[in-house]
Amino acid sequence: MTDLVLQVHNLCKSFGALKASNDVSLDLRPGEIHALIGPNGAGKSTLIKQISGGLQPDTGRIEVLGQDVTALDTVARARMGLGRTFQISSLAMEFSVLQNAVLGALGARRARGGRLGLFRNVMKDADLLATAQEALSRVGLEQAAQQRTADLSHGQRRQLEVAVALTLKPRLFLMDEPMAGLGASGSKDLTTFLDNLRQEAPILLVEHDMDAVFALADRISVLVYGSVIATGTADEIRNNPEVRRAYLGEEELT
Q: Which residues would be at the binding site for ligand ATP (CB under 6 A)? A: 15, 18, 20, 38, 40-46
Question: What is the length of the chain?
Answer: 254
Q: Among residues 43 and 104, whose Cβ is nearest to ligand ATP?
A: 43
**54/81 with CB nearer ligand ATP:** 54
Q: What is the distance, to the nearest Å, from the Cα of residue 182 to the centroid of all Cα atoms in its chain?
A: 16
Least Å distance, CB 140 to ligand ATP, is 28
Degrees (nearest 5) of the Cα angle 183, 187, 190?
140
Select 39 or 186, whichever has its Cβ closest to ligand ATP. Answer: 39
Closest to ligand ATP by CB, 40 vs 196, is 40
State the nearest-atom distance from the C-beta of 70 to ligand ATP, in Å: 18
Q: Which is nearer to ligand ATP, 59 or 143 (CB)?
A: 59
CA atoms within 13 A on the CB side of 129: 10
DSSP secondary structure code for residue 149 in this structure: G
Least gap, CB of 226 to ligand ATP (angstroms):
7
Q: Report DSSP state, residue 120.
A: H
For ligand ATP, give the closer residue by CB, 20 or 168. 20
Residue 40: partners with Cβ closer than 8 Å, 6 or more residues away: none
Q: How far is the CB of 243 from ligand ATP (least distance, A)?
A: 15
Contact 175, 206 (CB under 8 A): yes
Handedness of CA 236, 32, 47, 183 (dihedral sign): negative
Smallest separation, CB 75 to ligand ATP (Å): 21
Work out the burial of residue 178: count CB atoms within 10 Å of its CB; fewer than 13 is exposed, 13-18 middle, 19 or more buried: buried
Between 7 and 87, name the residue whose CB sits nearer to ligand ATP.
87
Neighbours of 15 (CB within 10 A): 9
Torsion of CA 130, 134, 135, 140, to 10 degrees: 140
Least distance in Å: CB of 19 to ligand ATP?
9
- Compute CA distances 190 → 31, 50, 133, 154, whole Å: 17, 25, 19, 12
Rounded to a whole number of angstroms, the minimum distance from the CB of residue 134 to ligand ATP is: 32
